[in-house]
Structure 1
Amino acid sequence: MASDNRASRLAPVVDMAEKTEKAAAQRLGHFQGQVNLANSKLGDLENFRGEYQAQWVDRGSQGVTGQWLRNYQYFLGQLETAVGQQRQSLVWHQNNLDKARETWQQAYARVEGLRKLVQRYADEARQLEDKREQKLMDELSQRLPRKDVY
């Protein structure tokens, strides 16, 4: 009975740990989405930069003006800056994801530990109840009159 009581007393603690784990899992999902988005943006910028650089080859074969070359170099510099900033953003989001994953893993481990403890208490309570019932059955069987068969 004491073990069963211990298991039931832990129920609110388990519920709270489960809520914390669920919130951590949602946060982990959010940060995974942010990493995916940042990675996609970086890919888009790098593709655009590649296409823009390909224009140099096409345009260069036809001849370019000094103004076109300055504009091209200026815009390419802007693209390089944007790519660098997006890489930094991706690293920042990845760090957030890593921290969120660690937090979720800790919360998950706590929930699992509490569930195992509650299960152990419930098993102990069941074993104690089984022993009590067996003892009662043994006492009852000893009280019944015996019929000896010869």
Structure 2
Amino acid sequence: MSSSNLQALTVLLERAEAERDEALRHLRDAQARADAAKHQQEQLSQYRQDYRQRWSQEFAQRTTVQILGCYQNFGGRLDQAIGQQSGIADFADQRLNAARDVLREREMRVASVRKLIERRRAETLRTQMRQEQRSTDEQAARAAARSSNPLTRLVA
């Protein structure tokens, strides 16, 4: 393999590695966003549970229709916020899965280019070894021909 071919494959490998590294950064960002969205959803759900428990204790003592209306209104808004956050968390998970798929593809590309370079180097090495073997065989054949030729013995 010529050095220009090897150089072209090396450039291709560098580009594939850069794309893989970018995909890895994107995956990490997606993971952070997904974790943050889940954490916020969990916090909202925990707050909703605490809110219900607190108001259940309060209602056991005394309540008015106005307070009950406020409780139900705020609880409804909390449920809505939890539902929205759940949608955000699901979307973040989808993006995380997509980022994983992209990273997997980019890693496979890097591995493929590395394998190609390895094969080309091995092919070049085999070609060089064959050429060296041919050269050695030719030299041995010439030497044998010289030693078997009676005229070459006299000259030497």
Same fold? TM cut 0.5: yes
Greater shift in the superposed pair: 38-47 or 12-21:
12-21
Contact 1:7–1:119 (CA<8 Å) still a contact in 2?
no
Counterpart of 1:78 in structure 2 is 77
Runs (5+) with no aligned partner, structure 2: 148-156
Counterpart of 2:92 in structure 1 is 93
2:109 equivalent to 1:123: no
| Superposed displacement of residue 5, structure 1 | 4.9
Task: Write the letter of the residue equivalent to 2:101.
Answer: E
| Superposed displacement of residue 63, structure 1 | 1.6
Counterpart of 1:28 in structure 2 is 27
Counterpart of 2:154 in structure 1 is none
Q: 2:91 and 2:4 mapped to 1: Cα distance?
A: 47
| Superposed displacement of residue 82, structure 1 | 0.7
Counterpart of 2:37 in structure 1 is 38
Q: 1:64 and 1:47 mapped to 2: Cα distance?
A: 24
Task: Write the letter of the residue equivalent to 1:54.
Answer: Q
Q: 1:42 and 1:35 mapped to 2: Cα distance?
A: 11
Task: Write the letter of the residue equivalent to 2:42.
Answer: G
- Whichever of the two has the greater Rg, that structure is 2
| Superposed displacement of residue 144, structure 1 | 4.6
| Superposed displacement of residue 81, structure 1 | 0.9
Cα displacement string for residues 16-67 of structure 1 (whole angstroms, at most 9, x for unaligned residues): 1111111011101110110000000000000000000101221122121222
Task: Write the letter of the residue equivalent to 2:39.
Answer: S
Contact 1:14–1:111 (CA<8 Å) still a contact in 2?
yes
Q: What RMSD over aligned residues (CA atoms) do the two structures have, in Å?
A: 1.8
Counterpart of 1:112 in structure 2 is 111
| Superposed displacement of residue 6, structure 1 | 3.0
Task: Write the letter of the residue equivalent to 1:77.
Answer: G
TM (norm. structure 1) is 0.87
Cα displacement string for residues 55-104 of structure 1 (whole angstroms, at most 9, x for unaligned residues): 12211221212222111111111110110110011111112112222222
Contact 1:6–1:121 (CA<8 Å) still a contact in 2?
no
Q: 1:26 and 1:99 mapped to 2: Cα distance?
A: 13
Bigger relative contact order (CA 8 A; separation at least 6): 1
Task: Write the letter of the residue equivalent to 1:26.
Answer: R
Q: Percent identity?
A: 28
Task: Write the letter of the residue equivalent to 2:21.
Answer: K
| Superposed displacement of residue 143, structure 1 | 4.3
Counterpart of 1:133 in structure 2 is 132
